[in-house]
């Protein structure tokens, strides 16, 4: 009997394991032979659960972040973690690792990358960095404090995790165009949350990108994920109550300055201003 995962086989920021049981209930509301298109596939958990619970359906998983490569490298990742575990012997659990032991661990990771051409840094991050902190390169790893959080057990190989699922790898807008005209299609829409760290995703997101996602929802059945931190629902409610405001900054001029809190946290300060003639309605 096929195993159904209620959490992704490998760490992934933003996977929907907390929603798994409720998501299963939602799937029962849609008719037989429905097509489900997972626009922001991420870890593939939603696609996997959908195919397990609704084997009668067609499920399309947009693996834009190449989670499949991480799954295929589970044996190599387990071997690397085994070596790191051995190097860290004698180090206190959950305590910071420094000095020669740290240097040996980083050297082992570097050797893995040189010899095999790939390291699953997100999975390794879960064992070496502070909780919920991830890096995607050796250079980034070297900048971080390393802790002995290495899991004791190997990751299970997930050979049938995506069994029966159609896989694509495109910008979500391209995937949407491919399937938007199919009758009864249901879009699974789980974009990176607004005001949330998106550093491990293969995309750069601005407010306009989050709002563009909403155009996918109009006129289609969907399951959409967001959070109160994003304030998307509050924004949509305000727009519904004030439909004629338009863009208040359309005629503004903008000045920008780059700033940073530290070497990782960077942001842009902006000043927007209107020309006096625009405010007074004077023709130029």
What is the pLDDT, as a whole number, of residue 131?
A: 79
**The two three-digit tokens of residue 64, written as one number:** 């834009």
Find tokens 């405010």 and name the residue.
279
Sign for the CA dihedral angle at 241, 243, 244, 247 comes to: positive
Position 282 confidence tier, pLDDT thresholds 50, 70, 90: very low
How does pLDDT run across 193-244, given as a tens digit for each residue? 665 444 455 555 677 888 888 888 888 899 988 776 667 777 778 778 888 7
In the chain, domain spans = 1-246, 247-284
What is the pLDDT, as a whole number, of residue 280?
A: 43
The pTM assigned to this predicted structure is: 0.82
Asked if the model's pLDDT at residue 11 lies above 70, the reply is yes
Taking only Cα atoms into account, the Rg of the chain, rounded to an integer number of angstroms, comes to: 23
What is the pLDDT, as a whole number, of residue 105?
A: 98
What is the pLDDT, as a whole number, of residue 103?
A: 98
What is the pLDDT, as a whole number, of residue 192?
A: 80
How does pLDDT run across 44-70, given as a tens digit for each residue? 999 999 999 999 999 999 999 999 999
Asked if the model's pLDDT at residue 246 lies above 90, the reply is no
How does pLDDT run across 262-280, given as a tens digit for each residue? 656 666 777 666 556 544 4
Asked if the model's pLDDT at residue 169 lies above 50, the reply is yes
What is the pLDDT, as a whole number, of residue 118?
A: 97
- Dihedral, 158, 159, 160, 164 alpha carbons, nearest 10: 120
Contacts 24+ apart (CB under 8 A), 33-36: 33/57, 33/58, 34/58, 34/184, 34/185, 34/186, 35/59, 35/60, 35/179, 35/182, 35/184, 35/185, 35/186, 36/60, 36/185, 36/186, 36/187, 36/188
What is the pLDDT, as a whole number, of residue 284?
A: 41
How does pLDDT run across 80-136, given as a tens digit for each residue? 999 999 999 999 999 999 999 999 999 999 999 999 999 999 999 999 998 778 999
């Amino acid at each position: 009997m096929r195993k159904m995962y209620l959490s992704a086989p490998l760490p992934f920021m933003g996977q929907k394991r907390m929603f798994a049981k409720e998501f299963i209930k939602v799937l029962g509301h849609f008719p037989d032979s429905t097509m489900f298109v997972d626009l922001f596939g991420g870890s593939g958990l939603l696609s996997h659960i959908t195919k397990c619970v609704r084997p009668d359906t067609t499920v399309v998983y947009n693996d834009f972040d190449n989670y499949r490569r991480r799954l295929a490298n589970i044996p190599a990742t387990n071997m690397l973690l085994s070596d790191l575990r051995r190097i860290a012997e004698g180090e206190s659990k959950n305590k910071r690792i420094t000095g020669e032991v740290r240097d040996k661990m980083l050297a082992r990771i570097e050797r893995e990358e040189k010899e095999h051409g790939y390291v699953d840094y997100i999975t390794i991050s879960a064992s070496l960095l502070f909780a919920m902190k991830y890096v995607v390169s050796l250079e980034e790893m070297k900048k971080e404090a390393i802790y002995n959080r290495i899991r004791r057990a190997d990751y299970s190989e997930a050979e049938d995790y995506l069994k029966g699922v159609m896989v694509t790898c495109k910008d979500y807008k391209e995937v949407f165009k491919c399937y938007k005209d199919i009758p009864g299609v249901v879009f699974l829409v789980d974009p990176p949350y607004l005001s949330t760290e998106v550093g491990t995703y293969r995309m750069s997101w601005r407010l306009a990108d989050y709002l563009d996602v909403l155009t996918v929802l109009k006129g289609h059945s969907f399951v959409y994920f967001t959070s109160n931190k994003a304030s998307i629902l509050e924004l949509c409610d305000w727009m519904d109550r004030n439909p004629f405001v338009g863009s208040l900054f359309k005629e503004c001029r903008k000045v920008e300055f780059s700033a940073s809190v530290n070497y990782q946290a960077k942001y842009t300060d902006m000043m927007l201003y209107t020309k006096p003639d625009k405010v007074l309605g004077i023709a130029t």
